[in-house]
Amino acid sequence: MSRTSRMFLGFVVGFVAGAVLLTVMRALVGLSPLAAIPALSAGFTPFFNALAPLLSAGLLLGAVGLMLGLDPALGLARGLVGMAIGFVLGILLTHFVRLGLGLGWDAESAWVGGASLAPIGFLLGVGALSDWLKWTRGMHTPEQHGPPAGRPAWTRYFGFDQNHKVIGVQYTVTGILIMGVGGTLAMIFRTELAAVGRQFLSPDAFNTYISLHGIIMIASILLGIGGLANYLVPLMLGASDMAFPRLNGFAFWLTVPSAILIIMAIFFGGWDTGWTGYAPLSVRGPIGINFFMIGMFYFGFSSILGSLNLIVTTLKMRAPGMNLFRMPIFVWAILSTSLIQLTATQFIGLSFLMVVLERNLQMGFFNPAEGGNVILFQHLFWFYSHPAVYIFILPGLGIISELLPVFSRKPLFGYKWIALSSMAIALMGFLVWGHHMFAAGIEDALRVPFMYSTMLVAVPTGVKFFSWLGTVWRGKLFFPTPMLFVLAAIAVFLIGGLTGPPLATISTDLHLHDSYFVVGHFHATMFGGFVFPFFAALYFWFPKITGRMYNERLGQIHWALQTVGFYTMSLTMARAGLLGMRRRIVDYDPALGVEGMQLIVTIAGYIIFLGVLIGVYNLWISAKRGQVAAINPWGSRSPEWQIPSPIPEHNYAEPFEVVGDPYDYGLPGSVYVNMSPSRGAAASTPAH
Amino acid sequence: MTAEAHTPPAGGISPAKRLQMNRLGLWLFLLSETFLFGGILAARFYLWGATRPHLDQILGLSVTAMLLVSSFFINRAEVAIKHDDRIEFLRSTGITILLGLLFLVGVVGLEWRTAPVNPATGGEFGIYGDVLFFMTGMHAFHVLTGVILLGVVAYLGYKGHFHARNFYGVEAAAIYWHFVDLVWVFFYPALYLMGVAVGPGH
């Protein structure tokens, strides 16, 4: 049988198995089995709502079958099998412990036990723990280099690999895939919202989709950042790899079972709290909430280990001559981001763990009837989740600062200020979480200090804007796709920045809280701070990663659609919010007069979606058939552009030496790195 | 992490540099853990305020003493292996593991069963029970991890893997153990000493 037919067969078998399994699982948790899917003639709403989880389960297991058909020896395929075994073992273990305590079968505890062990099964299956387990028996394991022995090179991307470039690609591709899932969910509920009245989504399905959209996009952003950081930081520092290559692979493979768990929530009644999972609603909601929270718990573990790795790499593995203030600005951004991620992530894990305990062990942390306090959840949750938005935007702002000088042929304006402003935003991020709770009934004495600390964040952010303006001022600008995305990022982030202070001010926030204004603001910061810079970075480093050039025309179309679509969407959302449109509701009052705006937002959303699809198609097709790219098409001074594309396994043939400042574009005679210090001062600065 | 020192230098990283990086990585991990336990402490003060449940003071003091003494012995083990004294290393590590297990028995085996907040003994569950079980449970989980790590280190030491020039595995396990001990130094007063004792007593 050919590989294609095996893959097809695997998919079909997996799809059927998923549908059957889902029916059994739903019967076990006491939901109605899906045996009866209503006929389409009975209306689209019940048909769609019954079909959606079935389709998702089928697609999920279908993907497993596809992987097994592709190559059963792939790490990913083995990991998925391990995950299923971990699930079963966890369910059995929980049940036997309950039997030992004299308790009977409990569906929720059983699934929680299964979900807790499943990622460990996945990691054992994929091989992320093999070396460490050997160490406990005193065995010696060399670091692994190159593709697995006797197997084609592409297989290393589907298994446990220790090379930072492979892991960077794994992170990025997973991030884009997950972004596709989150974007599709958004298109579904935006279609529902396009007109007044209920179109085809039940309120439960709507709640689940907006919640999933939120958390999946957050996961996707964290994966995208992981991809950029893992690929670029060792290259920019002149290291051959990250400080802890095994830990690096481990951290990536932890994200895959976590993402699967989060998506699995859809099969267990979904969850209706939004991505924030506020108690007490999360304590009372369907079983799916456990999957979301356990998934995020493991995802957070991965974030912590990944950032630990990046900090050690940055502090200990810099090339000779590269002191902290000669590091590329992107590395500064990643360093600040990693410091937040390393520490604050514990708090979201803690808050979610407490909810899972409250649900399953009848604890009462957030239950006033037992002496608990609901506000405690919000404090713990936002102590991570506000700094988290700086985790999302700092790398993107770093990309903007990194690319602007290249395309302006001028030094970066105020390098030290930019570097330290990232650090300042990171530290201030810890002091502002209360501004999410102005309307929640927190202590009055806390509100005003939180308002002022929030306003203060505008200062280091303003420093960045000044520096960007100073950098392009009287530069020799040129506008390939990455530069277009950088400029759009600045313009979009400005909208996010300007809509911030009205939300930070208590008096206006009480009006705007939980409205579409917040949604517009938040999406502007995420698009300006992450999505646009992320695509800028993808287009910019694409020729270095693949050795081929993307299609410039398709890149421009992607940029135009995304920029126009986004501006329309974000501003219209903010306007609807000012008129009183509440967020997170499936239907709205026609008397608000926002129906036309909702339609515009939906259409704008489609345009963005189309733009991103074209972008992904461009990258996919160009990686296979694009023109072979020059080694340094942008005339960058950064060391990774001075070596062949794609980059060799061990990066640099010889450690380079840093002899000047990174961004002295256009200064005659300036040199950043000496690529071969052993052969004297062969400068590597490109002409320009 | 235990056996990192067995790996040869890769990518031109000297053993000395590798050691520095391992140490930094470990300390960053502990910094991260500090936020976890800091969050738990914050939750305790948010929920209990200036009160606490009636707990067995003798038991609390005893388990605390065991953990503090165990830190002395793991330090002794670390010093011993740096002087190639394998017998003393094994003896001290063994005592540490024993004290750690006794601590677990004291907290999980005795305190959990006898505390007046346990509904099984007719106590009142409520927020006092929730926080007590959560704090001691999260800490006991880390003690258990430490015991397992020390078990691995003792086994590798018994097989002769550690000596005066290769002791990072022992050092890492010892630092982790000290950290878990240090956490208890903050948890003990928060649970047993601070605030006014309320609710059912002995």
Please count the helices (runs of H) and the strands (runs of E) in chain B.
6, 2
Taking CB atoms and an 8 Å cutoff, what residues of chain B touch A343?
Answer: 31-32, 34-35
A22 contact B CB<8A: no
Separation of alpha carbons A584 and A15, rounded Å: 32
ipTM for the assembly: 0.92
Query: A140-160 pLDDT, tens per residue?
Result: 888 888 877 778 888 899 999
Q: Cα–chain-centroid distance for residue B115?
A: 21
Separation of alpha carbons A290 and A111, rounded Å: 8
Which pLDDT belongs to residue A43?
Answer: 67
Closest by Cα among A454, A458, A401 to A432: A454
Mean pLDDT of A277-288: 89
How close B57 comes to chain A (CA, Å)? 24
Tally Cβ neighbours within 10 Å of residue A444: 8
Percentage of residues of chain A with pLDDT beyond 90: 72
Across A181-190, A364-373, B100-109, B113-122, least confident range: B113-122
Is pLDDT of A105 > 90? Answer: no
Which residues 150-179 in chain B show a CB within 8 A of chain A?
Answer: 152, 155-156, 159, 161
Cα–Cα–Cα angle for B189, B191, B195, nearest 5°? Answer: 75
A138, A245, A379: residue with CB nearest B159: A138
In chain A, the residue whose alpha carbon lies closest to the alpha carbon of B158 is A138
A317, A343, A379: residue with CB nearest B32: A343
| Interchain CB contacts (distance < 8 Å): A and B | 117
Mean pLDDT of A305-310: 97
Mean pLDDT of B6-25: 77
Structure tokens at A647: 């980059």
Instruction: Find tokens 């400068």 and name the residue.
Output: A683
Which pLDDT belongs to residue A671?
Answer: 92
The DSSP call for residue A156 is G
| Fold topology of B13-195 | Four Helix Bundle (Hemerythrin (Met), subunit A) (1.20.120)
In chain B, the residue whose alpha carbon lies closest to the alpha carbon of A383 is B39
Encoded amino acid at A403, one letter: L
Cα–Cα–Cα angle for A472, A477, A482, nearest 5°? Answer: 95
SS3 assignment, position B64 = helix
8 A C-beta contact, residue A567 and residue A492: yes
Separation of alpha carbons B148 and B127, rounded Å: 31
Which pLDDT belongs to residue A687?
Answer: 43
Interface touch A243/B6, C-beta < 8 Å: no
Q: Which of B28, B158, B159 to mutate to test the interface with A (most CBs of A within 10 A)?
A: B28
Structure tokens at A661: 């400042």
Which pLDDT belongs to residue A620?
Answer: 95
Helix H, strand E, coil C: the string for A6-17 is HHHHHHHHHHHH
A130 contact B CB<8A: no
Which pLDDT belongs to residue A309?
Answer: 97
The DSSP call for residue A318 is P
A38 contact B CB<8A: no
Query: A474-531 pLDDT, tens per residue?
Result: 999 999 999 999 999 999 999 999 999 999 999 999 999 999 999 999 999 999 999 9
Query: A339-392 pLDDT, tens per residue?
Result: 999 999 999 999 999 999 999 988 889 999 888 999 999 999 999 999 999 999
Encoded amino acid at A677, one letter: P
Is pLDDT of B156 > 60? Answer: yes
8 A C-beta contact, residue A386 and residue A416: no
| Secondary structure percentages of chain A, helix, strand, coil, to 5 | 70, 0, 30
- What is the distance in angstroms between the CA of the first residue and the CA of the last residue of chain B? 45
Encoded amino acid at A317, one letter: M
Which pLDDT belongs to residue B115?
Answer: 85
Which pLDDT belongs to residue A264?
Answer: 86
Separation of alpha carbons B103 and B144, rounded Å: 10
8 A C-beta contact, residue B20 and residue A316: yes
CA distances in angstroms from A573 to A180, A393, A594, B152, listed in the order given: 22, 21, 10, 57
Which residues 215-254 in chain A show a CB within 8 A of chain B?
Answer: 239-241, 243-245, 247
A286 cis-preceded (ω within 30 degrees of 0) = no
Q: What is the DSSP string of B4-50?
A: GGGSPP-TT--HHHHHHHHHHHHHHHHHHHHHHHHHHHHHHHHHHTT
A623 contact B CB<8A: no
Structure tokens at B31: 């910094």
Q: How confident is residue A250, by pLDDT bands cut at 50, 70 and 90? A: very high
Which H or E run includes A674?
strand A673-674
Q: What is the mean pLDDT of chain A?
A: 91
Query: A378-420 pLDDT, tens per residue?
Result: 999 999 999 999 999 999 999 999 999 999 999 999 999 999 9
Helix H, strand E, coil C: the string for A537-597 is HHHHHHHHHHCECCCHHHHHHHHHHHHHHHHHHHHHHHHHHHCCCECCCCCCCHHHCCHHH
B130 contact A CB<8A: yes
How close A138 comes to chain B (CA, Å)? 6
Mean pLDDT of B59-74: 97
Separation of alpha carbons A488 and A564, rounded Å: 10
Separation of alpha carbons A569 and A564, rounded Å: 9
Encoded amino acid at A1, one letter: M
Interface touch A365/B2, C-beta < 8 Å: no
Separation of alpha carbons A567 and B194, rounded Å: 55
Which pLDDT belongs to residue A182?
Answer: 95
8 A C-beta contact, residue A283 and residue A359: yes
Taking CB atoms and an 8 Å cutoff, what residues of chain A touch B47?
Answer: 365, 371-373, 376
A316, A350, A370: residue with CB nearest B126: A370
8 A C-beta contact, residue A573 and residue A435: no
B46, B128, B133: residue with CB nearest A376: B46
Separation of alpha carbons A530 and A525, rounded Å: 8
Q: What is the DSSP string of B137-186?
A: HHHHHHHHHHHHHHHHHHHHHHTT--BTTB-HHHHHHHHHHHHHHHHHHH
Separation of alpha carbons A192 and A588, rounded Å: 11
Which pLDDT belongs to residue B152?
Answer: 96
Percentage of residues of chain B with pLDDT beyond 70: 90
A646 cis-preceded (ω within 30 degrees of 0) = yes
- Exposure string over A220-244, b if 16+ CB within 10 A, otherwise e: bbbbbbbbbbbbbbbbbbbbbbbbb
Mean pLDDT of A584-610: 95
Closest by Cα among A496, A553, A602 to A193: A602
Which pLDDT belongs to residue A504?
Answer: 94
Q: How confident is residue B3, by pLDDT bands cut at 50, 70 and 90? A: very low
Separation of alpha carbons A167 and A144, rounded Å: 13
Q: What is the mean pLDDT of chain B?
A: 90
8 A C-beta contact, residue A627 and residue A291: no
- Exposure string over A262-298, b if 16+ CB within 10 A, otherwise e: bbbbbbbbbbbbbbbbbbbbbbebbbbbbbbbbbbbb
Higher pLDDT, A536 or A4: A536
Which pLDDT belongs to residue B1?
Answer: 40
Packing angle of the helix pair A374-408, A458-472 (nearest 10 deg)? 10
A136, A312, A370: residue with CB nearest B127: A370
Tally Cβ neighbours within 10 Å of residue A3: 10
Across A100-109, A530-539, A578-587, least confident range: A100-109
CA distances in angstroms from A405 to A409, A535, A632, B47, B74, listed in the order given: 6, 18, 15, 52, 54
Closest by Cα among A124, A61, A115, A122 to A93: A115
Tally Cβ neighbours within 10 Å of residue A450: 20
B148 contact A CB<8A: no
A138, A317, A380: residue with CB nearest B156: A138
Which pLDDT belongs to residue B109?
Answer: 92
Which H or E run includes A382?
helix A374-408
Which pLDDT belongs to residue A36?
Answer: 54
Q: What is the DSSP string of A402-428?
A: HHHHHHHTSPPTTHHHHHHHHHHHHHH
Which pLDDT belongs to residue A42?
Answer: 65
Domain coordinates of chain B in residue numbers? 13-195
SS3 assignment, position A225 = helix
Separation of alpha carbons A257 and A354, rounded Å: 21
CA distances in angstroms from A671 to A295, A404, A636, B183, listed in the order given: 47, 19, 12, 50
Closest by Cα among A481, A624, A608 to A546: A624
Percentage of residues of chain B with pLDDT beyond 90: 77
Residues forming beta bridges with residue B166, ordered by sequence position:
B163
* Pairing label, strands A673-674, A657-658: antiparallel
8 A C-beta contact, residue A439 and residue A510: yes
Query: A48-90 pLDDT, tens per residue?
Result: 767 777 777 788 788 888 888 888 888 898 998 899 899 889 9
Interface touch A379/B46, C-beta < 8 Å: yes
